[in-house]
Amino acid sequence: AQSVAQPEDQVNVAEGNPLTVKCTYSVSGNPYLFWYVQYPNRGLQFLLKYITGDNLVKGSYGFEAEFNKSQTSFHLKKPSALVSDSALYFCASRTGAGGSYIPTFGRGTSLIVHP
Amino acid sequence: DAGVTQSPTHLIKTRGQQVTLRCSPKSGHDTVSWYQQALGQGPQFIFQYYEEEERQRGNFPDRFSGHQFPNYSSELNVNALLLGDSALYLCASSLGTGGLNGYTFGSGTRLTVV
């Protein structure tokens, strides 16, 4: 069975500093990995994905994520945080081609960016 | 914008009652998935509809059922409500079942069972 772990319930960072939100996965075969963001009282918004190719993927709003197969990680990063980045972030995984295409979500990490 | 629309936004029901939640997918999308998000948890997959058929189902009892209409909109029905069914129910749409370009989520229906 596949699983996704987000080891930090909350991440605090000062505005202008780099941010990292951690995610590790357990998926058989080659995983497809995703990051979503959820603002209060809103649905999830797709940020970026890793399917294959370059381990560093770039997404919306200046976010990027690095796929590390040896560490089974897919950490979300941004070079300079904004107060408006404060939200709940979810990592999701699914098996690659031929497997179940339903994503499994982590529990979420609350990102708080302080002015 | 023609994003995912869910109704109602909030709902309060009594244990044992039945509830129907509705979802209109993003324009151009043909697949609808339903998720349950309990407080402090990530979304849990309930089922997915494509071409008016249930294609995949998560670990939810038969009390949870659904339907997809020819215009791709969908309903989620929950019978014999339990207190534990209280959650945010999210509808997500996509073009095709794989969701490789990401799912578009609605804002959800907050269901409270008392």
Task: Give residue-wise pLDDT tens across range A22-78.
Answer: 999 998 788 899 999 999 878 889 999 998 888 999 999 999 999 999 999 999 999
Residue range B1-28: average pLDDT? 93
Residue of chain A nearest B37, judged by CA positions:
A107
Q: Which of B58, B98, B108 sits opposite A43 (nearest CB)?
A: B108
Question: Is A75 in the B-facing interface, judged by CB distances under 8 Å?
Answer: no
Closest-CA distance of chain B to residue A17, Å? 26
Joined together, the tokens standing for residue A26 give 């357990």
Whole-number percent of chain A with pLDDT over 70: 96
A105 touches chain B (CB under 8 A): yes
The answer to whether B92 and A96 have CB atoms below 8 angstroms apart is no
- 3-state secondary structure at position A60: helix
Measure CB to CB from residue B42 to each of A42, A102, A107 and give the nearest one: A107
**What per-residue confidence (pLDDT) applies to A40?**
85
